[in-house]
Amino acid sequence: MVAIRSAAPEDLQGIRSVHLAAFPTALEANLVDKLDGSGDVLISLVAEDCGRIVGHVLFSRMDVEADERVVAGMGLAPVAVLPDYQSRGIGTSLIHAALRLAEARGADIVFVLGDPEYYGRFGFDAATAAPFQSPYRGPHFQALVLRPGFKPPRSGRADYAAAFAELG
Ligand SMILES: CC(C)(COP(=O)(O)OP(=O)(O)OC[C@H]1O[C@@H](n2cnc3c(N)ncnc32)[C@H](O)[C@@H]1OP(=O)(O)O)[C@@H](O)C(=O)NCCC(=O)NCCS
């Protein structure tokens, strides 16, 4: 049975293997290592099956302003599930668990860059992210508000941790 739990330092190699298997290049695996090295990881959850890491999701620190006020923003990336374990709901469970944790830890808003069809099912949408300046602005740059009462700003900015810029 697949269980979701917080990642531990000794999981790094297993997490790396998941990203290397799920993505066509090592960019995401390297991103995880860089975020870990820079201390920008806020939430890191793994899916484990019989002692093997089969999925991983990471939320990192973001620098976010809404109408010139600092707000608590997190960035969802990367998320991956081993190919043999995909389409069994593991990605969904990882993302839901991480969103619950982000809400419990006081996040106002979570940003993601990805397929609107996939992330739309969690409530992310491009309209919520649209007022925030970002190099990723566009239909794939989406956000989900977690804090009740958080009003969409007239303008703002949402900057990912430095490791993302190094992705090139
Ligand atoms: C995206 C990913 C994490 C989803 O994990 P998962 O455990 O397969 O997800 P779930 O089982 O919860 O959901 C699977 C559903 O998502 C859909 N889905 C997966 N990737 C999708 C995408 N990029 N766009 C739209 N739908 C997608 C699948 O078609 C499937 O639909 P179905 O349930 O109708 O069959 C996994 O497919 C993966 O690791 N992909 C490669 C890495 C990747 O693209 N990560 C996301 C980067 S934005």
Cβ 92 under 6 angstroms from ligand 1: yes
pLDDT of the residue at 1 = 87
Cβ 15 under 6 angstroms from ligand 1: no
Q: For residue 110, give the H/E element and its range.
A: strand 109-113
pLDDT of the residue at 68 = 93
Cβ 84 under 6 angstroms from ligand 1: no
Cβ 114 under 6 angstroms from ligand 1: yes
Q: For residue 43, give the H/E element and its range.
A: strand 41-49
Structure tokens at 107: 């996040």
pLDDT of the residue at 166 = 75
Tell me how far the alpha carbon of residue 79 lies from the centroid of ligand 1, in angstroms.
9
CA distances for 92 relative to 49, 57, 99, 130, angstroms: 16, 10, 11, 24
Mutate to test the pocket of ligand 1, among 25, 86, 88 (most ligand atoms within 8 A of CB): 86
d(CA 42, CA 118): 22
Instruction: Tell me how many domains the chain contains.
Output: 1
**What integer is the mean pLDDT of 157-161?**
98
Residue 34: name the closest of 54, 61, 55 by CA: 61
- Residues of the chain with pLDDT > 70: what percent? 99
The string of pLDDT tens digits covering residues 109-148 is 999 999 999 999 999 999 999 999 999 999 999 999 999 9
**What integer is the mean pLDDT of 10-26?**
97
Q: Is residue 151 scored above 80 in pLDDT?
A: yes
Cα separation of the two ends of the chain: 38
The string of pLDDT tens digits covering residues 52-87 is 999 999 999 999 999 999 999 999 999 999 999 999
pLDDT of the residue at 168 = 59
CA distances for 117 relative to 27, 81, 108, 123, 124, angstroms: 23, 17, 23, 10, 10
The pTM assigned to this predicted structure is: 0.96
Residue 64: name the closest of 2, 8, 106, 111 by CA: 111
Tell me how far the alpha carbon of residue 56 lies from the centroid of ligand 1, in angstroms.
13
Domain with residue 70: its CATH number is 3.40.630.30
57 CA closest ligand 1 atom index: 3
The domain containing residue 77 runs over which residues? 2-165
